[in-house]
Amino acid sequence: MGGAKVVKTDEEWRAILTPEQYRVTRDRGTERACSGAFWNSKDDGVYHCVCCDQPLFDSQTKFDSGTGWPSFKEAVEADRVTLKSDRGWGMTRTEVMCSRCDAHLGHVFNDGPAPTGLRYCMNSVALKLEPRLPAAK
């Protein structure tokens, strides 16, 4: 796992997250399509969990899925995310959570591009982008 487990009370989460971040990450909500900051971003860097700062997805694995949410081919390391069956909303999907703090990030689908065939469909509000530093000359 990417680091020690982060456990906070609801009150502690509410103190550090915006209401929308809390709704999505702690109450397993979903932001509206095309409403998040990163759905069409081309910025270079690594996307971290907004709750615990664990690195989750590299912008180099991001692709335009046409869904209105940021989509990635893979996590930076498999152990950075936890997958769980989600039977909500009358369908069965696979929920993606941060392995360090159990934040709800989005869902993963088997309709992504090669080589993984996966589409990690994430909520922008659950992520923060840490820009990649230029290589030293």
In this prediction, residues 1-17 reach a mean pLDDT of 89
Give residue-wise pLDDT tens across range 64-82: 999 999 999 999 999 999 9
Q: 90 falls in which pLDDT band (50, 70, 90)?
A: confident
Give pTM, 2 decimals: 0.91
> Hey, which residues are catalytic here?
121
The domain locations on the chain are 10-131
Range 10-131 classified under CATH 3.20.20.10:
no
What's the chain's Rg over C-alpha atoms? 14
Tokens of 62: 């991001």
Check if the beta carbon of residue 36 is closer than 8 Å to that of residue 125: yes
**What would the pLDDT profile of 113-134 be if each residue is shown by its tens digit?**
998 999 999 999 999 999 988 7
Query: In sequence order, what are the residues at sequence separation of 6 or more whose Cβ sits closer than 8 angstroms to the Cβ of residue 58?
Result: 46, 47, 72, 76
